[in-house]
Amino acid sequence: MNLIKGDDGHLANDDIGEWAKEKHMYLLRYLEISQAARRQFIGEHQGGAAYFDLFCATGKSRIKTTGEWIDGSAIAAWKASVQSKAPFSGVYISDVDEESLAACTARLKKLGAPVFPIHASATVAAKKMASAVNPCGLHLAFVDPYNLISLDFRLIKALSALRHIDLLIHCSAMDFQRNLDMNLISENSDFDALAPGWRENVDTTGSRGKIRENIYEYWKQKVADLGFFTSTDQKLVTGIKNQPLYRLLVASRYPLANEFWSVAVNPQGQGELGF
């Protein structure tokens, strides 16, 4: 992503798609709905409620088509937690780009957030975050990678060390579509990081749509094997031409989190799925 000067003087991301607003809307709705549960872990002698953002970027973006400035996920999540009177006890952010991380950190500090920046890859940062917080707390990780290969299964495994953690995961449907053929034959497939063991366990015959579904379901099963329930309600976010961009889903050890997510993405309780 291109970095430009934001409207607040710090570096910001340029040329972001309109759909980023929709993604953040679901995140914020989930935070609003889950505020009462989070509040029980906040305060003296409580385990805390930390927020993890493993791909935080700069914390500010400009929409490509409209020029509108919007908050990044970490900024938006902190503001929402404060507004709900259940502010996160810690905001842990990471990014491989040091300038982006510094910009996001500065924005969070200006808002009074208890921010803990980690300059590292998401897989390394996930281990550090899981080790830094109280294991008795209730924590939320927003896993919003830049592409499919960045959704490394090792980071999900690292976060699973925490008993009480909910994961809101963005899985790129677009990368599944446009890179499927290459990933099926490549010695260094994106699927190797996403879903280790897929070559031996996934049926790659049939239509492309069926193959994509098989790989995705195998990945979900690997997440489930870590002790998580993956939400049946999965939001498919599409682009301006109705092309599939990514799926959003929640992984949690507690059914209540999935109930919260079902309400957040669709009050009627009807999930969306599709490649």
Q: What is the CATH number of the domain that holds 259?
A: 3.40.50.150
Counting the structural domains of the chain, the total is: 1
Assigned domain for 191 exists = yes
pLDDT tens by residue, the chain, 275 residues = 689 999 999 999 998 988 899 999 999 999 999 999 999 999 888 999 999 999 999 999 999 999 999 999 999 999 999 999 999 999 999 999 999 999 999 999 999 999 999 999 999 999 999 999 999 999 999 999 989 999 999 999 999 999 999 999 999 988 888 889 999 999 999 999 999 999 999 999 999 999 999 999 999 999 999 999 998 888 888 888 888 888 999 999 999 999 999 999 975 544 444 44
Assigned domain for 272 exists = no
In sequence order, which residues have a C-beta less than 8 Å from that of residue 81 and are 6 or more positions away? 31, 35, 38, 51, 87, 88
Assigned domain for 271 exists = no
Assigned domain for 273 exists = no
| Domain around 80 | 3-265
In sequence order, which residues have a C-beta less than 8 Å from that of residue 236 and are 6 or more positions away? 173, 244, 246, 247, 272, 273, 274
Closest CA to 141 of 79, 50, 76, 219: 50
Assigned domain for 270 exists = no
Q: Can you give the pTM of this predicted structure?
A: 0.94
Assigned domain for 274 exists = no
Are residues 60 and 97 in contact, defined by beta-carbon separation less than 8 angstroms? Answer: no
Assigned domain for 216 exists = yes
Assigned domain for 99 exists = yes
Are residues 246 and 170 in contact, defined by beta-carbon separation less than 8 angstroms? Answer: yes
Rounded to whole angstroms, the Cα distance separating 233 from 182 reads 29
